[in-house]
Amino acid sequence: MTDEAWLSALAAELRRRGVGEEPGRAALADAASHLHDSGEDPWSAFGPPERYADAVAESLRVAVGHSSSPGPLRLKATGIRKRYGRREVLRGVDLTVHAGQIAAIVGANGSGKSTLLRICAGLASPDAGRVTIHGSVSYCPQEVSRTAVLRPDEHYMLIGAGAGLSRPAARRTGRAWASRLGWNDPDPALARHLSGGTRQKLNLVMSALTEPDVLLLDEPYQGFDRGTYVSFWDELWRLRDAGTAIVVVTHLLNQLDRVDHVLDLTEAAA
């Protein structure tokens, strides 16, 4: 089956499941973009059209069913400005996220998405403006952040120690998180020998291990297959429902049906 035939079948399956025109179009555009960029066969990337349509419909159902009643304020960024040389990438940006909410940061390349997230994480200083965090915060960068000579369990114990977790508890929690992302290797290799997608899973597990009050994610799904991608969003919803405030940088428009707020930096960078 060609890409075009698979996408046509997916469109029909989405309509059959009552997926609306706009989210259906976004899901098709996302799938088409992935196939174009990766060169993968659609059956390998997504599976049968009807099964992927089920996953899309279910994700929309969960998102619509979520109650967006705000909890306590967790993150407030006000008037954030940042300049690199003569170029100002952030111009008076505001962002407010409460407990139990997911905010997406979108925008063109170079619009300052990652810069804003680093400022919120305290890893970069704004030229003007203020960020206030209420509670604990964890940050998952776009690039893989791990120690090459440690095994995953050792990463979990290292991160857990900083939060007061015992070594067995940190290992158990890390493995549980990894399992929910489809990673069940009982004796994984050193981090430097893991595949790119598995290293990104390790990166995500490390950031979410202690279930912080504020979780900052910079396109954390790089290298994920479709099954892991769906599981990733399931885990974000679980954390949201438990009261975590989440900010995720993304460029995939179909994700916007899954969040409570969207901050578009495209105009701010113009």
User: Which uninterrupted H or E stretch holds 57?
Assistant: helix 49-65
Position 245 scores a pLDDT of 96
Task: Answer yes or no: is pLDDT of 46 > 70.
Answer: yes
CB atoms within 10 A of CB 109: 7
More confident residue, 157 or 70: 157
Give the mean model confidence (pLDDT) for residues 33-58.
Answer: 81
Answer for the pair 212, 74: CB distance below 8 angstroms, yes or no.
no
Is residue 58 in a domain? yes
Domain boundaries, position 60 = 3-65
Task: Answer yes or no: is pLDDT of 211 > 50.
Answer: yes
Kindly report the pTM of this predicted structure: 0.71
Closest CA to 95 of 108, 84, 105: 105
Position 137 scores a pLDDT of 94
More confident residue, 22 or 133: 133
Position 81 scores a pLDDT of 94
Is residue 158 in a domain? no
**Sheet arrangement for strand 214-218:** 137-140, 214-218, 245-249, 102-106, 261-264
Give the mean model confidence (pLDDT) for residues 220-237.
Answer: 80
The chain-wide mean pLDDT, for the chain, equals: 83
Closest CA to 142 of 126, 121, 157, 169: 121
Position 267 scores a pLDDT of 60
As given in the structure block, the two tokens for residue 10 are 């997916």
Which residues does residue 88 pair with via DSSP β-bridges, in sequence order?
Answer: 83
Say if residue 94 is exposed, middle or buried (CB neighbours under 10 Å; 0-12, 13-18, 19+): exposed
> To the nearest 10°, the Cα dihedral for 163, 104, 40, 62?
90
Is residue 234 in a domain? no
CB atoms within 10 A of CB 59: 20
Is residue 15 in a domain? yes
pLDDT band of 93, cuts 50, 70, 90? very high
Phi then psi for 103, rounded to 5 degrees? Answer: -115, 135
Position 102 scores a pLDDT of 92
DSSP β-ladder status, 137-140 and 214-218 = parallel
Is residue 38 in a domain? yes
Domain count for the chain, please give it: 1
Maximum separation of any 2 CA atoms in the chain, in Å: 54
Position 123 scores a pLDDT of 93
Task: Answer yes or no: is pLDDT of 201 > 90.
Answer: no
Task: Answer yes or no: is pLDDT of 65 > 50.
Answer: no
As given in the structure block, the two tokens for residue 36 are 């174009």
pLDDT band of 14, cuts 50, 70, 90? confident
pLDDT band of 126, cuts 50, 70, 90? very high
Is residue 32 in a domain? yes
Position 244 scores a pLDDT of 94
The CA distances from residue 160 to 156, 165, 211, in Å, are 6, 5, 11
Give the mean model confidence (pLDDT) for residues 251-262.
Answer: 68
Task: Answer yes or no: is pLDDT of 172 > 70.
Answer: yes
User: Which long-range CB contacts under 8 A does 2-8 form with residues at least 24 apart?
Assistant: 3/32, 3/35, 3/42, 6/42, 6/43, 6/46, 6/49, 7/31, 7/32, 7/35, 7/42
Q: Which of 54-58, 97-101, 160-164 has the lowest average pLDDT?
A: 54-58
Give the mean model confidence (pLDDT) for residues 79-89.
Answer: 90
More confident residue, 12 or 224: 12
